Chains A and B, each alone.
Chain A
């Protein structure tokens, strides 16, 4: 209980620290995957890079800029918008082969028809949450995204049972799913229960650290 009260007392400082850690991890992952994309032009790497680019923007706007400047709760709206797009790109990085005919011929992945669909869907979800003054649609979209990503990564892991990394990726996706379910429960049913939210922050840091460790291991630096 004492640890929880210390956390609650230093809530704002901890949020900035949490945001800074996640932002740094996103920056490293974006830069490393961008380098590999520029060499290979591999579309999966490109969407993976975009996912962490948008996650980085989300955490920058919510936890770094938003902690000091937040007119009309704009930082929360931007956080939601970028986070949803990041989730779409992460899922797209696993499914891009099925849609490659649509994206053929577009030199920028941020201006392709699928990306425009992501922007529109994210905007609609943000506006719906704004209208209802709740985060229901953000939670729902993230739970659906990570449920799908967990199923796909589980299939990848089953295809390569001897390999360590696909299991690692599946665990990261599953943890993200658990974090979003807990977040939704805490926000929508338990009046933003601080104990559960602290757990969600912790799981999120673990997930981003898992990705960071994975990237460092794969690129061997």
Chain B
């Protein structure tokens, strides 16, 4: 059985999915993130609140997500954060 992802890993996966598929739609992101709808909603709200992602409206008036500068920064620093937590046993 696959182990449960840590919170940081889920955030990384969601942000990576947005980075790979620029201006991704909510339903596609839900599938890509492999979360339950409620968990997905919680994580998305947290990421918006922390200004890691933003909501855009495309020319068909559909909602899409894109990464902010802070979101890119998180992805770049993810390995450092992971290594910090892992090495200090936090």
Contacts and interface: CB of A to CB of B under 8 A. Distances in A.
Chain A interface, DSSP helix/strand/loop, else mixed: helix
Q: Interface residues of A toward B: which range?
A: 20 to 34
A40 B70 CA distance: 11
A36 B88 contact: no
A42 B70 CA distance: 16
Contacts, number: 55
Interface stretch (B23-31, B36-44, B57-65, B73-81): B73-81
Interface of B: 7-8, 50, 70, 73-74, 77, 80-81, 83-85, 87-90
11 contacts: A36-B80, A39-B73, A40-B81, A41-B50, A42-B7, A42-B81, A45-B84, A93-B90, A165-B88, A218-B88, A219-B80
Given A218-B88, A219-B84, 16 more contacts: A36-B81, A36-B84, A40-B8, A40-B74, A40-B81, A41-B50, A42-B81, A44-B88, A44-B90, A94-B89, A94-B90, A96-B90, A153-B89, A166-B87, A218-B83, A220-B80
